Amino acid sequence: MGVDAATGFMAPLTFLCLCLFLFLFVGWTAPAMEHDSRSWQEPANSPTGAKNYKNRVEKMTESRWTLKDWLDQKERNRMMDLWLGMYAPSPYEFILSVSQMDYQEVIDNPASQIGYKSIKGSAAFYALVLGLEVDYENNWDERYNDLLGMLNVRVAGNSNQSTHLNVGFGLRSRNGDPNVQILGQSVAGAELEIYIEHHSGIRGSYRYDLPKTDPVLGTVSGHRAEAGVFFEILNFRFFGNWFTEDFDNMISGNATNRTRTGWQYGLKTFF
């Protein structure tokens, strides 16, 4: 009787334990089953889902090399070369200039100070960084003329119509009265132009006339310095410079200094 009662009591208890176990098992596995269900319903969220696969295919398509892409790139390069050829500075330049100089000349031996005017013209041709320049000054007041030829090298800048630095060396001849004739005097100089904005800028130059011995004038030397501003409209430049120029000669121990100081203004054209 006691055995039957115990057996009858254990059966419901075993059933309750089994139900509790099943309840706990289902509650523990339900989130995982729900996640797996979503993964199957939305395969794009999985590492190998359709969305990631599509992205990989699109990236491969974008980076894929094709003959059409190569031809398109070649055409773009050709158009860029044409654009650069149209807008890049030309390797050849031709420059014409004409100006007037108003100045005071001071002579120390014998002492005097007189105002004069003169006309100056110049022409220059550049190929890449090398240039040949010819200057001519007609000074009718003092009855002489200067002819200067220089070989210039552009050491900075891509053209003479942009910020640049030129250095040069050449020869100068002064012809006039029989007592004012100097042939083949060596000259060295430098010119710096800086564009402040696209159409205007500042300019400075310096020229040194190396000493030369003349049978009449003795040892002749000198220098010239300029500083000024300019304004451009297309290929035309209007400029104004302040300048000072010394001309020294010594003969038989007697030195004479002539100093010209004044303004130079004119027009320069670029081709």
How many other β-carbons are positioned within 10 Å of the β-carbon of residue 164?
18
Q: Cis peptide before 215, with omega less than 30 degrees from 0? A: no
Contact between residue 242 and residue 230 where contact means Cβ atoms under 8 Å apart? no
Residue 170 carries which side chain, given as an amino acid letter? G
CATH superfamily assigned to domain 92-270: OPCA outer membrane adhesin/invasin (2.40.128.100)
* Per-residue pLDDT at 194 exceeds 80: yes
The mean pLDDT of 101-113, rounded to a whole number, is 90
Confidence class for position 76, pLDDT limits 50, 70, 90: confident
The mean pLDDT of 206-233, rounded to a whole number, is 93
- Across 44-199, where does the E strand assignment appear? 92-108, 111-127, 130-139, 144-156, 164-176, 182-197
Better pLDDT: 16 or 114: 114
Q: CA of 67: how far to CAs of 56, 60, 64, 71, 77, in Å?
A: 22, 16, 10, 6, 15
Better pLDDT: 84 or 35: 84
Mean pLDDT is lowest, of 40-44, 50-54, 199-203, for 40-44
Confidence class for position 164, pLDDT limits 50, 70, 90: very high
Q: Where are the domains of the chain?
A: 2-64, 92-270
How many other β-carbons are positioned within 10 Å of the β-carbon of residue 248?
19
Better pLDDT: 60 or 134: 134
Mean pLDDT (the chain, rounded): 83
Helix/strand/coil percent split, the chain, to 5: 30, 55, 15
* Per-residue pLDDT at 87 exceeds 70: no
Residue 163 CA to residue 141 CA, distance in Å, equals 36
pLDDT of residue 16: 64
pLDDT of residue 249: 86
pLDDT of residue 3: 46
How remote is the C-alpha of 192 from its chain's centroid? 15
pLDDT of residue 240: 97
Q: Which of 22-26, 58-62, 110-114, 174-178 has the highest mean pLDDT?
A: 110-114
Mean pLDDT is lowest, of 55-69, 130-144, 197-211, for 55-69
The burial class, CB within 10 Å (0-12 / 13-18 / 19+), for 85 is exposed
Classify the phi-psi angles of 230: left when phi > 0, otherwise alpha if psi is within -120 to 50, otherwise beta.
beta
Confidence class for position 176, pLDDT limits 50, 70, 90: confident
pLDDT of residue 181: 79
Mean pLDDT is lowest, of 129-143, 177-191, 198-212, 221-235, for 177-191
Contact between residue 202 and residue 232 where contact means Cβ atoms under 8 Å apart? no
Select from 151, 126, 149 the least CA-distant residue to 136: 149
For 72, phi and psi rounded to 5 degrees?
Answer: -65, -40
Residue 211 CA to residue 196 CA, distance in Å, equals 36
